[in-house]
Structure 1
Amino acid sequence: MSNMAIQFKTLESTEIPELLEVFNSAFSDYALPMRMEEAIFLRKLFIEGVSLGFSAGAFDGDKLVGFILHGLDEFNGEKRVFNAATGVVQSHRGQRLAKQMYNYILPVLKAQGYRHHQLEVLNGNIKAERAYEKVGFRKSRDLFGYEGTVAPQIIPAVEIKEVKYLDWIKVQSFWDVQPAWQNHTPTVQRTMKDQKIIAAYVEGNLAGYLVYDTVNGRSKQFAVKKEYRRQGIGTALLANVTQALGKVNFVNYDDNDKGAKAFFDALGLKPNYHLHEMTLVYS
């Protein structure tokens, strides 16, 4: 099919059922096949801050055949864009539609002050990686999922309890690495009613915490303050999650955190997928 028929527009006028149908079609043969119901799809759009007015669509006549869903947020005063999903239906692949959608949408975003873009590609998806590299994206870090179970722990000096509130600025000092987009504080805060915060206290002092999503069971943030490490606090937090959910399911954990990687390995948590985060930054 000739590209002459393809038009590029934002998705603000596209109805959700049409967008979802094309999303499910595009990901039906993906390495990790995805099929979403409308409620889960809408939740994804909301959690990841997706703005359809700044997302790109490829249209063959009036039919949507490709899309880039963009989440927008601000971190430390910097406007950022996250590619929450790119998809092209099978009948229209091989036409470089992803690159053309980027050519269309990047100037729109730049005009609004968005100059930092990031996305994630499944390890082994060389075709997608090459396509993003042609746009200007470069690998920035590796992200892994981990899952497994941790046996119950009782550590007399440590109190583990559910809390309704965290000082989100304070707990950043517990981190060794920055969370991925889906796990960052603004993303977590968008659905606080669905998040559970488990906190560990030593003599009344916050020593560590874990946040997980009660809808899908995914652990979003996990950290132990440096001076309280190697005292069983992290193990106790993960055991608490295992007890509540049946297993621990971490998503998109930064592989640069070698301490956490060794800790997960020692506990028997296993990697279950591997992503490359890629970034594009321009002045």
Structure 2
Amino acid sequence: MICYRMLKNVEMETLHIAFVEAFSDYQVKIDLPFWKFHQMLKRRGFDPELSIGAFEDERLVAFVLNGYRDWNGKKTVYDFGTGVVVDYRRRGITSEMLQRIKEKMRERGIDQYLLEVLQTNQSAVSLYQKQGFHIQRTYSCYHLDKNNLSQSTTYSVESVESIELEMLYEFWDFKPSWQNSIESVKAVSEDFHYAIVRNDNIIIGYGIIDKRTGDIPQIAVHKEYRGKGIASSILSELAKNTEAMKLSILNIEIPLRSMEEFLLKVGFTSYVGQYEMLLKVE
């Protein structure tokens, strides 16, 4: 018999085992050792009291992992991992978990529920639409073998301990997704390497890379200084400061021609698309 309960007293190792099992046949291969899983939870604001699991004989067979923060001025829950192990699929478990989460959100006075889903996962897209989610934005995700990076160092790039990202909003062409947001970077700030380019002691470009995974949550150049090789110089510096052999830039909002053209020019390829979906809690 399946029973449901929030995850506030569930061991991290139990969550990890279930996550790896549930995503073992995912459309995009997920390499998630325990340290990386733990980092993901911290970076995305994991809230066990707003996350739910389905259990059979104390075995965790399905889950919805949620983060919680203010997002665009509203109290928001973010689903960063919904999974069901193979033998328990097509039983309505995911729908039941989502219904229970929505009830919990209403109790807590939370405004909205946010998530991302692969465009190719039409069954999941349909399920979320039936639950009341609507597509907000479309993303493309890019990766690159570091050895194939078209390197350029036309500008001097500095490595710094941290960056006051709140001061650099004007560099953005779109607001970063939840996992790439300022709050997410700050949540695991020690895991990142930071690089900047200055002009007359004023920052005109910056980039951030995970020192172990090669993930680049943010890279941007002031609009008045674009097309001069600044972003390429920053990217070359970032690549030197990660132990990963593959670089990844996730959730670039499309269409965004300038960013797409830049990434393709330096060697990145787009490998998957995602929808950002939002449910307003009523």
Fold equivalence (TM over 0.5): yes
How far, CA to CA, are the matches of 1:242 and 1:168 in structure 2? 20
**1:174-189 equivalence runs, <5 A:** 174-189=171-186
Q: Do residues 168 (structure 1) and 165 (structure 2) align?
A: yes
Deviation at 1:139, TM superposition (A): 1.7
Deviations 1:154-199 (A, max 9, x none): 43xx431111232222111110101111110000001111111110
Deviations 1:197-223 (A, max 9, x none): 110112222101001111211111011
Q: 1:39 maps to which residue?
A: 35
Determine if contact 2:102/2:281 at 8 Å carries over to the other structure: no
Deviations 1:119-167 (A, max 9, x none): 1112211111111111111222222222334433343xx4311112322
Determine if contact 1:177/1:256 at 8 Å carries over to the other structure: no
**1:236-255 equivalence runs, <5 A:** 236-245=233-242, 248-255=247-254
Q: 1:125 maps to which residue?
A: 121
TM-score by length of 1: 0.91
Of 88, 97, 100, 1:101 maps to 97
- Aligned identity (percent) is 28
Q: 1:197 maps to which residue?
A: 194
Q: 2:71 maps to which residue?
A: 75
Q: 1:214 maps to which residue?
A: 211
- Structure 1 residue matching 2:174: 3-state secondary structure: coil
TM-score by length of 2: 0.91
How far, CA to CA, are the matches of 1:247 and 1:269 in structure 2? 10
How far, CA to CA, are the matches of 2:246 and 2:98 in structure 1? 39
Look up the equivalent residue of 2:258 and give its one-letter code. Answer: G
Deviation at 1:49, TM superposition (A): 0.8
How far, CA to CA, are the matches of 1:54 and 1:235 in structure 2? 41
Q: What 5-or-longer segments of structure 1 have no aligned partner?
A: none
How far, CA to CA, are the matches of 1:166 and 1:242 in structure 2? 18
Q: 1:276 maps to which residue?
A: 275
How far, CA to CA, are the matches of 1:35 and 1:164 in structure 2? 28
Deviation at 1:61, TM superposition (A): 4.3
Pairwise CA RMSD of aligned residues? 1.8
Q: What 5-or-longer segments of structure 2 have no aligned partner?
A: none
Determine if contact 1:150/1:247 at 8 Å carries over to the other structure: no
Deviation at 1:16, TM superposition (A): 2.2
How far, CA to CA, are the matches of 1:194 and 1:282 in structure 2? 34
Deviation at 1:281, TM superposition (A): 1.8
